Amino acid sequence: MPFVRLKRCTAIMIFVAALLLFFAGAVFCSSGGEGGHGEGGHTGWVVTDTYRVMNFVVLAVGLFLLLRKPASGVLEDRIKGIKEQLSELESKRTEAEKNLAQYNEKLALLNKDSEKIIAEQIKQGNEAKDRIIEAAGAAALKLEEQSRRNIEHEFKQAKLKLQEEVVAKALIKAEEIIKSKITGKDQEQLVSEYLEKVVA
């Protein structure tokens, strides 16, 4: 296809060059080899002016025909490239929007999961606090009961010890009183009564 276009452009250029040479030769011949407006000094429109206009028109048409195809091809290629770029940008934009929607969805799920995790941690913390308080209360009751038992035991031991000391002191005091008030005769009588009871 590019080779056919090149051949067509070459043919058009040869045709335009031939036309230009033809009209240039005709103008030269009609003016008698002189430039300008002739010997009479005409100041109006002459044949050479017509040929010059025709040369310009032919040149302009030839250039238009010559450059129309390549220029339109370049413009079409450029338009096609721009359309492809726009299509690619549109697909990238669509993909970016899709990725953004996915990221937003993941972020929403992450926020939801984080809120759920925080709520679960708070719940577990409250449950642990309740267990600790309950265990501390039970330990305090147990310690209080143990302390009460220890106090009662110590009180009983002290009471028994005090009773023993009181009894011992009372016996000593009674012995002292008896010794101070009993006579030798009373002692002999007590011994004899004791012996009688033992023998009997």
pTM for the complete prediction? 0.33
| C-alpha–C-alpha distance, residues 130 and 115, integer Å | 22
3-state secondary structure of 106: helix
What count of Cα atoms within 13 Å lies in the side-chain half-sphere of residue 24?
8
Q: What is the mean pLDDT of residues 149-175?
A: 84
Please report the pLDDT score of residue 158 as a whole number: 86
| C-alpha–C-alpha distance, residues 127 and 114, integer Å | 20
Q: Which residues contact 32 (CB under 8 A, 6 or more apart)?
A: 38
At residue 139 the predicted structure's pLDDT band, cuts being 50, 70 and 90, is confident
- Model confidence pLDDT, tens digit, residues 63-107: 777 666 765 666 677 788 888 889 999 999 999 999 988 988 888
Residue 48 in this model has a pLDDT that exceeds 50: yes
Q: Cα 94–95–96 angle (5° rounding)?
A: 90
Please report the pLDDT score of residue 20 as a whole number: 63
Please report the pLDDT score of residue 39 as a whole number: 47
Domain ranges of the chain: 160-199
Please report the pLDDT score of residue 38 as a whole number: 46
| C-alpha–C-alpha distance, residues 99 and 96, integer Å | 5
